[in-house]
Chains A and B, each alone.
Chain A
Amino acid sequence: MFRLEVRTSTPAWFNLALPLLAIGATLVLCSGLIALAGAGVLEAYGVMFTASLGDSYAITETMVRAAPMIFTGLAVAVAFRAKFWNIGAEGQLLAGAVASCFVGAIPMPGPLAMVLMAVAGAAAGAAVALVPATLRVKFKVDDVVSSLLLNSVIYYALMALIEGPWKDTFSGYPISPPIEDSANFPVLLEGTRLHLGVVVALIAAPLIWFLIVRTTLGFRIRVTGENPEAARYGGINVERVLLSTALLSGALAGLAGVGEVGGVHFQVMSDISPGYGYSGIVVAMLARLNPLGVVPAAIFLAAVMTGAEAMSRATGVPAFLSDVIQGTALLAMLVALLFTAYRIRRVGTAR
């Protein structure tokens, strides 16, 4: 007989072992789909790896893709720490993209433009995130549902912009006018797309870690999430903490949109985000809501996305495999997290 036993503490190596276990299980489970598509499993995964991490150019492409997911992953990690269920990172990213594109199109010195783009994008994301948080605090509306519904609202607002006032009158395509050349984020490595925003994302992770672990606000966020009653008893204004968390989370998601506009697309179009907001949830969970863990988790998902396209071209396996891998990885990680709460004990068979 085996029995589940409540665990009081978890060894430190679990932080690394559990995500690796989840990722391993995911790759094994998804290999069935590769086989179903009639391709060699090792070959397909091999192509994915080479195309995403095999040489320095591939690595820069993966990093460019990881940057928005570092931001959305941080956004979700911060929110989930306070048990503010922000599933709206996608909409907040889009709002950030629109706001930064608006600012970036105004002629001004480059560095000033970049700073203002970031400020505007973060503010727009924060404003959007404030809606579900306010609805929860004031009207007891479930934040999951309202933040999800808001994603659709923001998406249609973006479409109205790029099919209306922003529409390219020349080509007729539903894309916004480009931002000023001087507002384009500088490329760090000649011949690649590795832009300044990627470095900012890499710096943001330890900063957010510091905020969560070492500051008063971070302490309040954690206590509110772990035990709101105790937080209230201890004199913490839980409602205010939730609103602050929403602002921080939304601002981070908004910055993901800023990076995509300033560093990758230089304009806004309908498919500017292939679901980076939702991927942020997977990233945050793989990282166990630890801001430092968000970076490798985002790089893993970015590698899967970059690699899946190459794999599709080489083997004919649909690139949507990367979507299945994301969903499976999230579920596998949740199961793996059981090991942090319980340990399996062998107990003598009672007759």
Chain B
Amino acid sequence: MSAVFEQIFQVGFLAAIIRIATPLAFATLGEMFSERSGVLNLGIEGIMLLSAMTGFTATSLSGSLWLGVLVAVLTGMLMGALHALFTVALGLSQHVCGIGVTLFSSGLAYFLYRLIFGQQSVPPNIKGFETLPVPVLSSIPVLGPAVFNQFSLVYMAMLAIPLAAFVLYRTPWGLSVRMVGENPRAADSAGVSVIATRFQAVILGGALMGLAGAFLSMAQFNAFTFGVVSGRGWVAIALVVFGRWDPWRSAGAALLFAFVDALQLRMQASGLGHIPYEAFLMLPFIFTIVAMAVMSRNAVAPSALLKPFRREER
């Protein structure tokens, strides 16, 4: 047993946790911004998939990784704007619109990918991001190679967490976002445009979801496959609840999920007994459901979540 234990807890394991957590952190922060403004975005799964596709395609065609990232972010913003158009401007059901955005974006991603790359027996690859050791910091024992010898997008995620907390809690715009999510009528009386603020928050959220998609197809897998997102978007929605709509806690939730996921991958690799590998694959999802059951009782969602705002209605 201790041999298995040693095999699991190594530098590689820590590095794997950080890598798995990165797209989840982006996605979770994105969903958090959206929900703090009062808009549930169930389009996240499809937005991540479409961004992964457009980013991969842009890189594949241009050879530039950062152009790919930019395209993925723009894709996320565009789909965020579409979701905001339906749910904020038109005030339609956030649940059903989100599912609609996911179905539409996924369909579009499959369609365009097949149109551009055709049906190939071996899916096309790109030369994805390479690890970039941070000088000095990467030579810290254990922590250095695990945390500071990563893709540049990983560092971006690390910076995005305090930045998101700063924006949400310390800037006027962050205050507006929290106001329109808690009490839109009061925000409106205070001269804050509920509609504009929600649009901005959902679009910013879309940009972060785009980064999550870009990471998957351009750093983690270096290819686009139809299963490249495989439920990570849904997990991010659960992590926002688990993280109580707070940037730090949400990022912590992403890290915790990544730990479970990395653990199940290691357990698969070390071939524990006769347990089918699918049992391990299930583990993070069951963990998330249980975690939500434990946390949801005390969880306080933004008061105006799911409620459309119309000025003239009371």
Query: Measuring CB to CB, which residues of chain A are less than 8 angstroms from any residue of chain B?
Result: 33, 36-37, 85, 87, 135, 139-142, 144-146, 148-150, 152-153, 156-157, 159-160, 163-164, 278, 281-282, 285, 318, 320-328, 330-331, 334-335, 337-338
Contacts and interface: CB of A to CB of B under 8 A. Distances in A.
A140 B296 contact: yes
A325 B278 CA distance: 32
Contacts of A156: 278-279, 281-282, 285
B115 A37 contact: yes
A103 to B, nearest CB: 22
A328 B104 contact: yes
Contact of A334 (B42, B93, B235, B286): B93
A246 B104 CA distance: 27
B147 interface: no
B278 A160 contact: yes
Contacts of A331: 86, 97, 100-101, 104
Contacts of B92: 334-335, 337-338
Contact of B237 (A145, A157, A318): A145
Contacts of B46: 327
A280 to B, nearest CB: 11
A3 B93 CA distance: 21
Nearest to A150: B289
Given A325-B107, A327-B107, 13 more contacts: A139-B297, A140-B296, A144-B95, A144-B237, A152-B285, A153-B282, A159-B278, A320-B107, A320-B110, A323-B111, A327-B106, A331-B100, A334-B96
A323 B241 CA distance: 30
Interface string B67-95: 00000000000000000001000101101
Given A150-B289, A324-B107, A334-B96, A318 B278 contact: no
B231 interface: yes
Contacts of B288: 149
A323 B110 contact: yes
A345 to B, nearest CB: 13
Nearest to B40: A144
A335 B101 CA distance: 13
A160 B276 contact: yes
Contacts of B294: 139
Given A164-B276, A323-B107, A324-B104, A145 B241 contact: yes
B69 to A, nearest CB: 24
B49 to A, nearest CB: 11
Contacts of B282: 152-153, 156-157
Nearest to B286: A153
A153 B281 CA distance: 8
A164 B275 CA distance: 10
Contacts of A281: 96, 99, 103
B292 interface: yes
Contacts of A324: 104, 107-108, 111
B114 interface: yes
Interface in B278-314: 278-279, 281-282, 285-286, 288-289, 292-294, 296-297, 299
21 contacts: A139-B294, A139-B297, A140-B299, A142-B292, A144-B95, A145-B241, A146-B289, A150-B289, A152-B234, A152-B285, A153-B282, A153-B285, A156-B278, A160-B276, A163-B278, A278-B103, A322-B107, A323-B107, A327-B100, A330-B96, A334-B100
